[in-house]
């Protein structure tokens, strides 16, 4: 039962007391403190609401929720594009320097379902190559995706293959990693020569 | 609403070695993940296994494994793993590491609570520059789904090796399961369950490596 109800650009808003969650929820924020309260309060201004409220963004199927500690009232934003609206809310939090109160699991899930976070191609083949190399008796010397330590020993054949595989799959978010890999290659002339041979 | 009736526990989703075979034994859970995420279930399971429960949030489970799957979806799994049988004396393994491969089936926040207790993993990760979590303002911990966790664990184990048999002989069951998973892209308990399921259904022990896998695509 709405205490107050009105239409907005992409749907309608209902302010209600004691909102009952009908379907499984995705929590958009971490259960923190005043910072969440401030963030939600600011975001609510978009709807012309100044009171402290929980937020539910829903398309009738999914419910994305941001909880305002201690709030009694709930603003229910009904929109057919609930995932997009929830993602916008998360982006708003990040853009205003509040990334740390965002539930990063929910953010990643939204990015994947909305296609914002692209997944690499040929993943299965790459993993299979990694696995079969291990099974062939190769020592499992792996180069992590996010960071690469400076080599302390001579490079192994497996390392060279792995670097080549990684270089085939460069995207903007892997730039730092690529820089580190190139750093390693440049510090090691033999490794560079081997890579050039493979290329 | 369809009720899925998986024959294997949720660990099957990170049993990459025989992923398709595993999928064929968990009703249509993999297909459901694909519908919800828009991606191949293997890709999600390999890149972000911690997000899998989120894609299953509306799914219902029944059958003998229902409780385990419900616990998985509601983020209540524990790192408990199979009990490994000792094969020799413990050489002395002074590591405290109350985790197993199962932490990567938990939400990032919950996984952090276990991972931070495993100083063996966390200190090696720090030295390698691998981020398992980060810090926000006021040193608040920001957790996030770890991308390709198996590759990160493999990198850590390459850097700071622990032999599987040492972990087993020293009674570190969770750590042994983690090491086995990282080394073999396989969950030991799932291997055993798949073996016993096939044995009970067909009366012989499976041999996936010998090319039988395609015969079991429509197992259920």
Q: What is the pLDDT of residues B82-114, one digit of tens each?
A: 899 999 999 988 888 999 999 999 999 999 999
Q: Which residue has the tokens 């526990």?
A: B9
The per-residue pLDDT for A195 is 65
Write out residues in chain A with pLDDT < 50, as ranges. 138-155
Task: Select the more confidently predicted residue: A137 or B180.
Answer: B180
Rounded to whole angstroms, how far apart are CA atoms A92 and A103? Answer: 13
pTM strictly above 0.90: no
Joined tokens for residue B177:
């399961």
Do A15 and A3 form a contact (C-beta atoms < 8 A)? yes
Phi first, then psi, for residue B130 (nearest 5°) are -90, 125
Residue of B nearest to A112 (CA): B37
Q: How far apart are CA B105 and CA B181, in angstroms?
A: 13
- Nearest chain B residue to A148 by CA distance is B128
* Contact with chain A for residue B211, Cβ under 8 A: no
Which residue from B82, B44, B58 is spatially nearest to B4, judged by alpha carbons?
A: B58
| E-assigned strand segments in chain B | 3-4, 60-61, 134-135, 141-142
Instruction: Please list every residue in chain B whose beta carbon sits closer than 8 Å to the beta carbon of residue A105.
Output: 50-51, 54, 107-109, 144-145
- Which of B37, B159, B185 is the closest to A113 by Cβ? B37
pLDDT, tens digit, 9 for 90 and up, residues A142-175: 444 433 344 444 445 555 555 555 555 566 666 6
CB contact under 8 A, B47 and A119: yes
Which residue of chain A is at minimal alpha-carbon distance from B43?
A: A123
pLDDT at A67: 84
**A29: buried, middle or exposed (CB in 10 Å: 19+, 13-18, 0-12)?**
buried
Q: Is the pLDDT of residue B191 over 70?
A: yes
Q: What is the pLDDT of residue B81?
A: 76
Lookup: tokens for B117: 């207790």
Domain ranges of chain A: 2-118
**What is the gyration radius of the CA atoms in chain A, in angstroms?**
24
Q: CB distance from A113 to chain B under 8 Å?
A: yes
Q: Is pLDDT above 60 for B211?
A: no
């Amino acid at each position: 039962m709405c205490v107050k109800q009105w239409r907005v650009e992409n749907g309608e808003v209902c302010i209600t007391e004691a909102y009952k969650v009908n379907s499984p929820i995705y929590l958009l924020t971490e259960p923190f403190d005043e910072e969440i309260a401030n963030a939600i309060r600011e975001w609510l201004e978009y709807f012309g609401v100044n009171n402290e409220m929980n937020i539910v963004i829903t398309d009738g199927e999914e419910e994305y929720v941001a909880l305002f500690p201690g709030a009694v009232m709930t603003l229910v934003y009904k929109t057919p594009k609930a995932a997009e609206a929830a993602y916008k809310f998360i982006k708003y939090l990040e853009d205003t320097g509040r990334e740390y109160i965002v539930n990063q699991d929910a953010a990643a899930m939204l990015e994947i379902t909305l296609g914002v976070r692209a997944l690499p191609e040929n993943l299965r083949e790459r993993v299979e190559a990694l696995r079969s190399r291990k099974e062939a008796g190769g020592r499992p010397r792996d180069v992590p995706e996010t960071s690469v330590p400076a080599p302390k020993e001579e490079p192994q054949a497996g390392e060279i293959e792995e670097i080549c595989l990684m270089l085939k799959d460069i995207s903007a978010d892997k730039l730092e990693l690529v820089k580190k890999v190139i750093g390693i290659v440049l510090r090691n002339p033999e490794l560079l020569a081997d890579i050039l041979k493979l290329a | 609403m369809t009720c899925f009736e998986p024959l294997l526990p949720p660990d099957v989703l990170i049993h990459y070695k025989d992923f398709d075979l595993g999928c064929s034994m968990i009703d249509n859970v993999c297909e459901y993940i694909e519908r919800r995420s828009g991606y191949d279930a293997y890709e999600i399971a390999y890149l972000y296994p911690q997000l899998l429960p989120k894609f299953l949030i509306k799914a219902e489970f029944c059958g003998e494994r229902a409780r385990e799957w419900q616990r998985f979806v509601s983020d209540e799994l524990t790192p408990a793993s199979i009990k490994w049988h000792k094969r020799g004396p413990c050489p002395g393994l002074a590591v405290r590491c109350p985790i197993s491969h199962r932490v990567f089936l938990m939400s990032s926040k919950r996984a952090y609570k276990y991972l931070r207790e495993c100083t063996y993993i966390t200190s090696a990760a720090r030295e390698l520059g691998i981020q398992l979590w980060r810090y926000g303002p006021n040193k608040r911990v920001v957790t996030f789904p770890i991308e390709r966790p198996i590759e990160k664990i493999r990198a850590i184990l390459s850097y700071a090796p622990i032999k599987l048999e040492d972990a087993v002989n020293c009674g570190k069951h969770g750590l042994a399961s983690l090491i086995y998973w990282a080394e073999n892209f396989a969950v030991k308990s799932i291997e055993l369950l798949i073996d016993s399921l096939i044995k009970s259904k067909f009366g012989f022990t499976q041999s996936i490596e010998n090319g039988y896998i395609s015969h079991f695509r429509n197992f259920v």
